[in-house]
């Protein structure tokens, strides 16, 4: 089985679905994290290229901690746009990876890169099965798209994955993003949940865990409600 997460920035997978990715990797699934950008806007007192190199190295270490492969697409941080060209690039990526299921951002999110990534992945998911759409890779048919996100009025998780045995792995992966842990805690701004990042992530997982009677959990919304749940 193959699980692919498509995220906007180098630390998104670890924060939002790191426990689920680690759980699937541990059970023998092939797990890939696709990064739209290298996160070159997430810092200061340096150049974009130097920061991008740092964040890419951190993401690779974090992916390794989760047992996942890392793939960078090279979109520009803060400037991910919706276009047919970008949608077709995602079609090619999904076809090449041929995942059984895809994880990505929920459509309602404060960050514009998250919102755009969600739309691109959703539409590419639909198009990657069309036989007359020609790309270098053959058509594929992932079973479903699962969305993760921050608790909002519109994001209410319907699927809760028990990550009790993987919460420590998730936290270890987050801490690999050394430049971001410090940056988010000092410059989170309107994202106040980044004050005490690890504590906040742990607290949220504990709250979600209570809905299933487990210690820690991550929450998702599925695109196809009637499909068999791949996540588990």
φ/ψ (deg, to 5) at 73? -95, -25
Q: Measure the CA–CA gap between 197 and 62, rounded to whole angstroms.
A: 16
H/E stretch holding 101: strand 101-105
User: Residue 42 has what DSSP assignment?
Assistant: S
pLDDT of the chain, 232 residues: tens digit per residue: 999 999 999 999 999 999 999 999 999 999 999 999 998 766 666 787 888 899 999 999 999 999 999 999 999 999 999 999 999 999 999 999 999 999 999 999 989 999 999 999 999 999 999 999 999 999 999 999 999 998 666 899 999 999 999 999 999 999 999 887 776 666 654 444 445 788 889 999 999 999 889 999 999 999 998 666 788 7
For residue 228, being part of any structural domain is answered with no
Provide the β-strand partners of residue 4.
32, 102
- Predicted TM-score (pTM) of the model is 0.92
Q: Measure the CA–CA gap between 82 and 62, rounded to whole angstroms.
A: 28
User: Taking a C-beta distance cutoff of 8 angstroms, is the pair 68, 18 a contact?
Assistant: no
For residue 96, being part of any structural domain is answered with yes
Tell me how crowded residue 191 is: count the other CB atoms within 10 A of its CB.
Answer: 13
The candidate with the shortest Cα–Cα distance to 103, out of 169, 34, 175, 157, is 34
For residue 229, being part of any structural domain is answered with no
User: Taking a C-beta distance cutoff of 8 angstroms, is the pair 165, 23 a contact?
Assistant: yes
- Burial environment of residue 73 by CB neighbours within 10 A (0 to 12, 13 to 18, 19 or more): middle
Quick one: pLDDT at residue 186? 65
The domain tally of the chain equals 1
The candidate with the shortest Cα–Cα distance to 100, out of 131, 72, 125, 135, is 125
For residue 230, being part of any structural domain is answered with no
Pairing state between β 217-222 and 159-162: antiparallel
Tokens 């949220």, residue located: 204
Residue 31: give the domain boundaries.
2-222
The CATH number that applies at residue 62 is 3.40.50.10320
Please enumerate in sequence order all residues whose Cβ is within 8 A of that of 95, keeping only pairs 6 or more positions apart, or say none. Answer: 128, 135, 137, 138, 139, 140
């Amino acid at each position: 089985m193959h699980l692919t997460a498509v995220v906007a920035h180098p630390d998104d997978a670890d924060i939002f679905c790191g426990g689920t990715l680690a759980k699937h990797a541990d059970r023998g699934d092939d797990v890939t994290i696709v990064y739209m950008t290298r996160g070159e806007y997430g810092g200061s007192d340096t150049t974009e290229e130097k920061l991008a190199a740092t964040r890419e190295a951190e993401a690779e270490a974090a992916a390794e901690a989760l047992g996942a492969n890392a793939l960078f697409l090279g979109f520009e941080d803060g400037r991910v746009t919706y276009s047919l060209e970008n949608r077709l690039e995602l079609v090619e990526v999904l076809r090449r990876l041929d995942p059984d299921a895809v994880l990505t951002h929920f459509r309602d999110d404060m960050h514009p890169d998250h919102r755009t990534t969600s739309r691109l992945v959703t539409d590419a998911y639909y198009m990657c099965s069309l036989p007359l759409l020609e790309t270098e890779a053959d058509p594929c048919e992932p079973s479903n798209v699962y969305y993760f996100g921050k608790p909002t009025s519109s994001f209410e998780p319907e699927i809760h994955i028990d990550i009790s045995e993987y919460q420590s792995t998730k936290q270890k992966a987050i801490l690999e993003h050394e430049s971001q842990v410090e940056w988010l805690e000092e410059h989170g701004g309107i994202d106040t949940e980044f004050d005490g990042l690890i504590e906040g992530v742990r607290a949220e997982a504990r709250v979600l865990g209570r809905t299933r009677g487990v210690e820690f959990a991550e929450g998702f919304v599925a695109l196809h409600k009637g499909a068999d749940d791949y996540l588990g």
